[in-house]
Amino acid sequence: MGSGLLVAGTTSDAGKSVVVTGICRSLSRRGLRVAPFKAQNMSNNSMVTSEGAEIGRAQWIQAVAARAIPEAAMNPVLLKPGSDRRSHVVVLGRPAGALEAGEFAGGRQHLADAAFGTFDDLRRRFDVVVCEGAGSAAEINLRDHDYVNMGLAQHGSMPTVIVGDIDRGGVFASMYGTLALLDAADQQLIRGFVINKFRGDVSLLKPGLDSLERLTGRPVLGVLPWQRDLWLDSEDSLALTSRPVHDGDGALSIAVVMLPRVSNFTDVDALCLEPDVRVRFVEDPRALAGADVVIVPGTRATLADLAWLRSRGLDTAIVEHARRGGTILGICGGFQMLGTQIDDPHGVEGLPGASAAGLGLLPVRTAFGREKVLRLPRGTALGVAASGYEIHHGRIIVDGGTDFLGGTREGSVFGTMWHGALEGDALRWAWLREVAAGMGCEIRAGEVSFPAAREARIEALADLVDEHLDMDALLAMLSDGRTLPVLRGTLR
């Protein structure tokens, strides 16, 4: 039976995903067989594994960092928000109905059983399972039914480290408060702290670090410095706001429409590496005025987000952009919006029988089917090999145009059902050259490899972990059964 470690946080977006990714590669460097695990994700950013299962994108990249084959067991429960009160549920990589807001606390025992079972399976097959918590470790309103944070830690008798984002301010109070809010049994599993996103001279933190260790009886295992260019495949679209804006040299300006229920927004990550490309995420039609290319990304709520486009006047701005000869790329749900008609006869996204006219830029009709399509397609486009992944309920009927990556193209308007195609260097370079040629300009394309850049980021992240975290102490925690102090004022 292998060991387990839980990396929990004081808040969402404290950096848990990034820390787990770095620890996975660091442990792999030491020759250990490592698997990532997140009992439950709430994210519309997902990936298809080689077994044809859907998992959170963050766990997919963590598996890459661990040098393990991504599999459904690494993210047994995936909640994909379709609205503020309803999430579509994926269990072990397959659709499993929906979860309403009122069911969130008490209606999840079957999900907990699936999560605990797959965690136990991974621990039998790997030396170390590095688990990522969700939100805060002190979600005390959900503790009775928790299987993601301390509930998981108790199930696996796992040492837990708490990650806090110092860039937000108040990190010492949030770390102390997170520990103090837990009951005595949960406190016993908290073995240390990690401070993330620090800018400046770490010696200035020493009085606070010493006080936190004295007050809690637990060490600060390290302080990770803030790094601008180390963002990785995220699970939360909110992380887009903390990513560096990519200016490039400005030869080609790309506006990505930030849909309310955007999914698989990592489709544009590779473009953010190109030296002549300027990428912006936009919500206002005026922001499209200076763009050469408009990208309408995927969405978990195609009809609702199409209505949102219209409510803001973005539909008119996109159509006008096409009429002026500008390039448009629609991906999955964004592609479906560019068509002539969208129908939801079975209520996959909401009410049965819902329908809407599309923007009419491509000869495509869409009808949602009950069964989800999950596959890893390969083919050719623009004279080069291409690949991607498909995650969708929408079935398209193409009435014209030229075939393009499981979709169609008419002039400078492209539509594809394939996510991730732009991560392929040859396809991305060919597409950028095609766009630039249509504008009558040249662009540097062929200088940057996205797969190589991703691997370099993982290695750089592991270097930071090895340099700034006490990995020997962290490994020692896996077998340390000492009794630790319990803070006063606990709930139980």
Active site residues: 332, 419
Q: How far apart are CA 363 and CA 384, in angstroms?
A: 24
DSSP SS3 for 405 = coil
User: Residue 328 is encoded by which pair of tokens?
Assistant: 């448009």
Query: Helix %, strand %, coil % for the chain, to 5?
Result: 35, 30, 35
Phi, psi dihedrals of residue 278, rounded to the nearest 5°: -115, 120
List CB contacts of 330: < 8 A, sequence separation 6 or more.
Answer: 295, 296, 336, 337, 338, 362, 407, 413, 414, 415, 416
The CA angle 93-94-99, to the nearest 5 degrees, is 105
User: Residue 188 is encoded by which pair of tokens?
Assistant: 């016993």
User: Residue 98 is encoded by which pair of tokens?
Assistant: 């929906």
User: Residue 473 is encoded by which pair of tokens?
Assistant: 């102490």
Are 128 and 32 contacting, i.e. CB atoms less than 8 angstroms apart? Answer: yes
DSSP SS3 for 168 = helix
With 0-12 / 13-18 / 19 or more C-beta atoms within 10 angstroms meaning exposed / middle / buried, residue 357 is exposed
Distances (CA, A) of 278 to 78, 252, 254: 33, 6, 6
Where helices occur in 126-202 by DSSP H, the ranges are: 150-156, 171-181, 184-187
CB atoms within 10 A of CB 199: 9
- Sign of the torsion formed by the C-alpha atoms of 341, 346, 348 and 353: positive
List CB contacts of 391: < 8 A, sequence separation 6 or more.
Answer: 46, 48, 54, 263, 264, 332, 372, 373, 374, 419
